[in-house]
Amino acid sequence: MSDADRDARHARLAALDRAHVWHPFTQMQTWLEPAVGDEPLIIDHAMGSWLFDTQGRKYLDGVSSLWVNVHGHRKMEIDSAIKLQLSNVAHTTLLGLASPPSIELAAELVQRAPRFPGQPTLTRVFYSDSGSTSVEIALKIAFQHWRQRGKTKKRKFVALSDAYHGDTLGSVSVGGVDLFHEIFRPLLFDVLRIPTPHAYRWPTGEKHCLEAAALAAEALIAGRHEEIAALIVEPLVQGAAGMITHPAGYLKRLAEICRAHDVLLICDEVATGFGRTGTLFACEQEQVVPDLMCLAKGITGGYLPLAATLATEEIHQSFLGPFESKKTFFHGHTYTGNPLACAAAVANLKIFDEEQTLVHANAMAARLAEGLASVAQLPHVGEIRQRGLMIGIELVRERATKEEYGYDERMGHRVCLAARKREVMLRPLGNVVVLMPPLAIQPQEVDLLVEAVRESIAEVTGRSEIR
Ligand SMILES: *Cc1c(COP(=O)(O)O)cnc(C)c1O
């Protein structure tokens, strides 16, 4: 394609995008009246950790195309698995029928799920198509489970104050990010809240955080367990809240409290799953097996929309009965367990074995940590939080007081725009610069990422220095 053809194609697509596409989590007025350097950037294709736009520019995919990519783009084994499945069939339903890829994947997921002696075992896989639906399903299963066990008073959910579990109404109900969720409050069911163990901003200081947060959870659950169906938590890291990393031991404490009081534990591993935090699932790091586990994002290696809610055999048993008992779980999405997506997911898991993906990811995480030490020295970096390849760099106006930048200053966004000039694609969470590269990122790419982030933060925060 000539340069002129390429530019004409880009201009046409950009105009059509502005005319017709409503982008998620995007102020469309800003999108439609772009500032310089903020015009629609249209990704045309990708390879490995690199994205290529319609104007011939390339960018390192620093957030794994919104936290989903694992082994890089155009991974040969996943491409092939999808093509092979496509030569059989693209879609058949799981409502009353089975399919080879959904069967193979369920067995693989169960085999790889966290498993520790003395705890229940996850044996059942319920498919859907997004993280939000995987959470919605976990909530509905937990609720129906207790009803069918005759404990109809157990119908409330406990969630953390800054939780993010998706954008459907059930998952928004358990969510606690006011910016996203507040406006919908009148539509939502009430949820019992426990504090987010956010050490950096814990009111009585970092060292009290774990104990105080665990005690608050225990007090609530011990007092009201008869009305509580389940507690839902993002294990180890609360992603959308700003990559808030929990103190070690917190998840284990929550699990013990839940077990002691007959409250189900739902771990939302949508962001943390598939090697993100250094182990295949984050729960493993605290030897915790949840009663329900939500998976999505990385499940297909970042290829296709697929999600799964894993349940223990005990929970599954609650739904068994004669046909006329109506104990059926009456829930299902049209594309539930899509064969192309399941085939991609099976291939994704196989690569974890063949390429020792976790070993590589942990080496890259260590290299990133080393590089980020210099970023932590920058005057407006408040804290860098990291678990594996899940990283948040919190920018603050003033380090000593931890004073935040204002919403309208868009500091995170400005750093991301500055990084684009350095061939790195990022997307922030408010004042938190997020780094979530593909697990397959290469050493030189890690170095490029760190360098671009350091320069971008220095450039943007330097200019905004208050005198
Ligand atoms: C992204 C995310 C979700 C929602 O997943 P979608 O596929 O966007 O619906 C739920 N929980 C967590 C922890 C997430 O990070």
Q: What is the pLDDT of residue 37?
A: 56
Pairing of strands 244-245, 237-238: antiparallel
Residue 149 gets the label, from left (phi > 0), alpha (psi -120 to 50) or beta, of alpha
Task: Give the domain 41-71+356-461 fold.
Answer: Aspartate Aminotransferase, domain 1 (3.90.1150)
* Average of per-residue pLDDT values in the chain: 96
pLDDT digits (tens, 9 = 90+) for 72-116: 999 999 999 999 999 999 999 999 999 999 999 999 999 999 999
Average of per-residue pLDDT across 211-237: 98
Structure tokens, 343: 């085939």
Q: What is the pLDDT of residue 434?
A: 98
Q: Return the domain boundaries, the chain.
A: 41-71+356-461, 81-354
199/207 Cα distance (integer angstroms): 7
232, 251, 270, 293, best to mutate for ligand 1 pocket (most atoms within 8 Å of CB): 270
pLDDT digits (tens, 9 = 90+) for 306-340: 999 999 999 999 999 999 999 999 999 999 999 99
Nearest to 239 by CA among 180, 185, 165: 165
- pTM confidence score: 0.97
pLDDT digits (tens, 9 = 90+) for 386-437: 999 999 999 999 999 999 999 999 999 999 999 999 999 999 999 999 999 9
Contact indicator for 348, 313 with CB cutoff of 8 Å: no
**Which atom of ligand 1 lies closest to the CA of 239?**
15
What stretch of H or E contains 261? none
Q: What is the pLDDT of residue 364?
A: 98
Residue 56 CA to ligand 1 centre (angstroms): 31
Q: Which residues of 294-332 are buried (b: 16+ CB within 10 A; e: fewer)?
A: bbbbbbbbbbbbbbbbbbbeebbebbeeeeeeeeebeeb
Average of per-residue pLDDT across 344-362: 98
Residue 159 CA to ligand 1 centre (angstroms): 15
- Does the Cβ of 240 fall within 6 Å of ligand 1? yes
- Does the Cβ of 239 fall within 6 Å of ligand 1? yes
- Does the Cβ of 131 fall within 6 Å of ligand 1? yes
Task: Give the domain 81-354 fold.
Answer: Aspartate Aminotransferase; domain 2 (3.40.640)
Contact indicator for 125, 292 with CB cutoff of 8 Å: no
67, 132, 294, best to mutate for ligand 1 pocket (most atoms within 8 Å of CB): 132
pLDDT digits (tens, 9 = 90+) for 180-197: 888 999 999 999 999 999
Structure tokens, 122: 């996850």
What stretch of H or E contains 61? strand 58-61
Q: Do the domains at 41-71+356-461 and 81-354 have one common CATH topology?
A: no
pLDDT digits (tens, 9 = 90+) for 47-74: 999 999 999 999 999 999 999 999 999 9
